[in-house]
Structure 1
Amino acid sequence: MYLSILAVGIGGALGSLFRWVLGLRLNALFPNLPLGTLAANVIAGYVIGVAVAWFARFPGVSMEWRLFVITGLMGGLSTFSTFSAEVVAHLQQGRYGWAAGEIAIHVTASVVMTILGIATVSLAR
């Protein structure tokens, strides 16, 4: 149990730090669609797809590695709460088109990247 807690905690800390760096580097480039948040969610979607497919292919990999990568690292990197706050800010400012666009871009890109991540592992056979 302690190894599981460490795996999630260390992974979460590293993923959160990476998300923070992406936000610092990218969010100011295009304020109407913060690219750091989008990059974090898209990268996390792809890596989760790869991880899910990889762990399915190699079921003997320890649960701690699964927890580290999927729950910790990618859970810390992906950010539904920041994305939601950005959408609500658009709505509060009456920018309904930006809000709808941000929802469409984040959800579509994240799902497509997860599918691509799974496909990457499938093609690597």
Structure 2
Amino acid sequence: MRWGLGMALNPLFPTLPLGTLAANLIGGLMIGFAMELLTRHAVLPPEVRLLVVTGFLGGLTTFSTFSAEVVTLLLRREWLWGSITIGGHVLGSLAMTIAGIAAMRAVYAWGATA
């Protein structure tokens, strides 16, 4: 999936690797969903949480590709794009994880009133 995002999105704006950003933002949202879901179903063994969050979703998101892309920008002395990339990934991923948790809480709240 991450490769497909890179192939589809990176040509749109070559200076900023949008495929990796999209993978990290989608992964952050999905990790938020999973965190809230797995917290509410505490009877599941911790290995399930590790499998979902660290295994599957950790495979979607990628710190190594992000690091390589930022270092490439910095080596080319593209300080602004490097900074934008760092900010977009870190702040965007955190925001999407919070959004995922909030969305799952809203689903549970809606289900409790329905």
- The 2-side partners of 1:34 and 1:90 are apart by 10
2:72 to 86, 89, 100: 89
Aligned AA (2:74): L
User: 3-state DSSP class of the match of 2:65?
Assistant: helix
> What is the match of residue 43 of structure 1?
26
- The 2-side partners of 1:68 and 1:25 are apart by 28
Task: List structure 1 segments (4+ residues) > 4 angstroms apart after TM superposition.
Answer: none
- The 2-side partners of 1:77 and 1:31 are apart by 21
> What is the match of residue 115 of structure 1?
98
Count of residue pairs the alignment pairs up: 108
TM-score, structure 2 as length reference: 0.88
Aligned AA (2:96): M
TM-score, structure 1 as length reference: 0.80
- The 2-side partners of 1:62 and 1:29 are apart by 42
> What is the match of residue 57 of structure 2?
74
- The 1-side partners of 2:91 and 2:25 are apart by 9
Note the residue ranges of structure 2 that are not aligned, 5 or more in a row.
109-114
1:2-48 deviations in Å (ceiling 9; x for gaps): xxxxxxxxxxxxxxxx1111112211211111111001000110100
Q: CA deviation at 1:67?
A: 3.0
User: 3-state DSSP class of the match of 1:60?
Assistant: coil
User: 3-state DSSP class of the match of 1:124?
Assistant: helix
